[in-house]
């Protein structure tokens, strides 16, 4: 009998650690660079009346025979107006041999974790080995998972966190200090969170640059997460013009990543892109080449990250007998 396994968020989070999600994301970037992935750029539905959008993200990985699709929303007003997360998602895993839906699972936790894990992977390959200080702009869920992932790959001595709301950043600093046993400071300005750090994580929905070029020291590695739709931009374009730019996918980055506005304005061209993070992982493109180099990872989020991670969740759930079984064809 063909059955679909349904998995909720608490079940999924009990099956995977951040370390395992980082490994899944690194595998995803690797197979993407090896051209083993069929993955159209994400498609958007814009709900302008409600200030939100829905993204559809399909993927098939040849060789691994893993396939699926994620639907994910971004509605920034959700927490305040409805008590819902800004980002929510569902993932359907499909058996490529039959097309049967072998699992339907919450994708919210996976989205948050794999986004953070991507910053961890990039930091592993692009930050200076001597890096100790992390700056974070924005104090939401992706700031939290980003710090969790960076902490897996870097010996952090100090973190500086900035966001618009004093209480939010102070709560973030308190919880992170207790969780990781490191010095996490709440700072009043973005400049204080940026100046003098080794690794910077930006996680805001900004539509105008909030990080200035003059604040970025030589040798800084930047994980730019916040720009995930057309018109969004967190970094001063001058940063990109003097940095080594690594992307996850050109089609998505030029359309909706950190580089989307500079590309539209002609300030950044495809020839200015150093390569994909997957190319760095498999060694076809060098990563950091000097301690003085500024590196920027433009992270848009790829369906292959979700699907590799979700299949690893499914395999564990199947083996351990976790989840509700449903026959949708009855």
Q: Is the Cα dihedral 266, 272, 277, 282 positive or negative?
A: positive
| DSSP tag of 33 | H
Residues with Cβ within 8 Å of residue 39, at least 6 apart in sequence: 32, 58, 59, 60, 249, 302, 303, 304
Q: Residue 31: which H helix or E strand, with range?
A: helix 18-33
DSSP string, 69-131: EEEEEE-TTHHHHHS--SEEEEEEEE-TTT--EEEEEE-HHHHHHHHHHHHHHHHHHHS-TT-
How far is the C-alpha of 323 from the C-alpha of 77, rounded, in Å? 31
CA atoms within 13 A of residue 92's CA, in its CB half-sphere: 13
The answer to whether residue 70 is catalytic is yes
Q: Is the Cα dihedral 191, 150, 228, 240 positive or negative?
A: positive
Question: What SS3 state is found at 323?
Answer: coil
Which entry of 70, 195, 232, 276 is annotated as an active-site residue?
A: 70
Two tokens at 214?
Answer: 């003059």
| DSSP tag of 135 | E
Q: Is the Cα dihedral 150, 151, 156, 162 positive or negative?
A: positive
DSSP string, 244-289: EEEES-HHHHHHHSTTHHHHHTTSS-GGGEEEEHHHHHHTSS----
Catalytic residue ranges: 70
């Amino acid at each position: 009998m063909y059955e679909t396994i349904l998995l909720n968020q608490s079940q999924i989070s009990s099956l995977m650690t951040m370390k395992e999600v980082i490994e899944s994301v690194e595998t995803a970037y690797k197979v993407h660079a090896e051209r083993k992935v069929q993955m159209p750029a994400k498609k958007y539905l814009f709900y302008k009346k409600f200030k939100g959008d829905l993204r559809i993200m399909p993927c098939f990985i040849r060789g691994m025979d893993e396939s699926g699709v994620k639907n994910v929303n971004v509605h920034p007003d959700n927490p305040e107006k409805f008590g819902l997360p800004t980002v929510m998602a569902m993932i359907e895993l499909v058996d490529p041999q039959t097309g049967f839906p072998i699992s339907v699972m919450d994708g919210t936790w996976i989205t948050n974790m794999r986004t953070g894990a991507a910053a961890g992977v990039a930091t592993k390959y692009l930050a200076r080995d001597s890096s100790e200080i992390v700056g974070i702009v924005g104090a939401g869920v992706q700031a939290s998972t980003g710090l969790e992932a960076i902490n897996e790959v870097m010996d952090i001595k100090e973190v500086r966190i900035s966001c618009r709301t004093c209480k939010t950043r102070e709560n973030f600093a308190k919880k992170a200090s207790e969780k990781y046993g490191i010095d996490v400071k709440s700072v009043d300005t973005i400049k204080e969170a940026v100046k003098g750090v080794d690794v910077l994580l930006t996680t805001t929905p900004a539509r105008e640059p909030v990080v200035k070029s003059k604040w970025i020291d030589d040798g800084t590695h930047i994980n730019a997460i916040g720009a995930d739709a057309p018109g969004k931009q967190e970094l001063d374009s001058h940063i990109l013009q003097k940095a080594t730019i690594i992307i996850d996918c050109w089609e998505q980055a030029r359309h909706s990543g950190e580089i989307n506005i500079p590309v539209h304005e002609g300030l950044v061209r495809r020839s200015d892109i150093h390569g994909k993070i997957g190319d760095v992982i498999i060694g076809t493109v060098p990563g950091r080449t000097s301690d003085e180099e500024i590196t920027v990872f433009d992270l848009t989020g790829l369906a292959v990250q979700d699907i590799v991670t979700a299949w690893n969740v499914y395999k564990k759930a199947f083996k351990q007998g976790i989840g509700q079984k449903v026959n949708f064809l009855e």
